[in-house]
Amino acid sequence: MKKTLELCAAAFAAAMMASCAGAPPQPDVPVASEATLVESYSPAEVTVRATGIGYGEENKAGADADLKRTAVQFVLLMGTDPIITTPEERMRFQNIEKGFYADVNRFITWEADKVESQKRGSFNGVPVLKRTKAVRVHKENLRRELTERGVLVARETLAAAQGNPVIMVIPDSPQGQTPLMVLDRNGLAKQAAATIESYLTARSYEVIVPRAAEQIEQMTRVQADLGNAGDDPAYAMAMSVGSDVYFVFSGEVQGSKASVAVKAYETTTGRLLGTETGYSKDRPGAAQGALVDEAVSDAVDHVLERVKSYWQTDMKQGLQYRLVIRVEGNFDADAIENVQMKLGDLIESSFEKSKENVLTAKTMDYNVWASRDEYSRSAKIYQMLKEKMAPVAKLRQININRKLLVLGLDNP
């Protein structure tokens, strides 16, 4: 009996050696490239379900190493919101790619004990073992190392060159209520706003908290100045406080699960930049606030990546401002046409880019992209327009903030 067992063990070992002998060495770069996002675990970490391929039918260690590399690859290059986004960044990463993946354990903060799937098969004619499980990747450590190695530009450098967007966070509000009313009456909405603001400040974004009483008065004025603002108090408030981007969120808790939708808009135009719905896990007995935090975390990280991409692209065109001019003087038809042509030519020649939104006998509405060196603040735009329009019309200030100039136009 003992001899039989020894023979079986020897045969098993020989089979293992033969299997390993026929397999090529395990690569230091991802093989499987199969991964999906599970959740945004924290402002710095994401959980990824990844599949790894080990060369050799019993190569568990190789499969586990490959699935970790694949998880890191997913955060870097795959999914809807990768860290590396531009062609230039991809080219720089290719120069360090092989060595970068050689040891990715420094980016893995957790891995599941449970293997979700394991099966033997073949890959490019090689016998392999495929294993799938969840791991957690420290996204900020990845970003930090890529910055140190010259693949990414440091956030501080970008901020110094073009500034970070100023962001406001407000809840979606039903008919007849303002966002501030919702925050005052709904504790879960207040908690969701605080969680999103925490994410933003952790990423070094400047956050405006719309709490000052005078902002309500400003919002009322802006609603009168902008035709579509009266139907959208969130947009009106974002314009009134001068944010570059505003986040609007809504959600609900049903039983032991929560869902939260987060949308990001460009303030000057109201253009949707990104939207994502996050879900908490089903957690019987958990507090509603904890469920909301988890759902928010699942959504906001993706939206923020899209805001970052938008800001870097938009800033290449200059600082964007909304310019609304209301005609208040007594101009005849020929005179107002002359003023409008003069203003249009002046805007076209003074700014990097401009867009005419509305042009009527009573209102002129433009978006302009201004040189950061020449027009670092909106008051400089007002000063330039006032001086150069003086021969044909008199401009006066109605409401000016970081992003919006509402001006009155009168006879010279």
Q: Is 53 helix (H, G, I), strand (E, B) or coil?
A: strand
Nearest of 259, 403, 379 to residue 323 by alpha carbon: 403
Cβ density class 45-77: b for 16+ within 10 Å, e for less? bbbbbbbbbbbbbbbeebbbbbbbbbbbbbbbb
- From the number of C-beta atoms within 10 Å of its C-beta (0-12, 13-18, 19+), residue 27 rates as middle
pLDDT means per 10 residues, the chain with 412 residues, are: 39 39 79 89 88 93 95 91 87 91 94 94 89 95 92 67 78 86 91 90 82 49 52 68 88 92 89 89 88 88 83 80 89 90 93 90 90 86 94 89 86 86
pLDDT digits (tens, 9 = 90+) for 20-66: 445 688 888 999 889 999 988 877 889 999 999 999 989 999 999 99
Nearest of 93, 75, 201, 195 to residue 149 by alpha carbon: 93
CATH class of 163-313: alpha beta
pTM of this prediction? 0.66
Kind and range of the H or E run holding 284: none
The percent helix, strand, coil of the chain (3-state, each to 5) is 45, 30, 30
In the chain, where are the structural domains located?
Answer: 23-144, 163-313, 319-410
Phi, psi of 323 (to 5 degrees): -120, 115
Longest dimension (CA), the chain: 113
Instruction: Note the pLDDT of residue 179.
Output: 86
Instruction: Note the pLDDT of residue 214.
Output: 43
Q: Fold for 319-410, please state it.
A: Alpha-Beta Plaits (3.30.70)
| Gyration radius of the chain's alpha carbons | 28
pLDDT digits (tens, 9 = 90+) for 160-202: 555 678 899 999 988 888 888 898 899 999 999 999 998 888 8
Q: Is 257 helix (H, G, I), strand (E, B) or coil?
A: strand
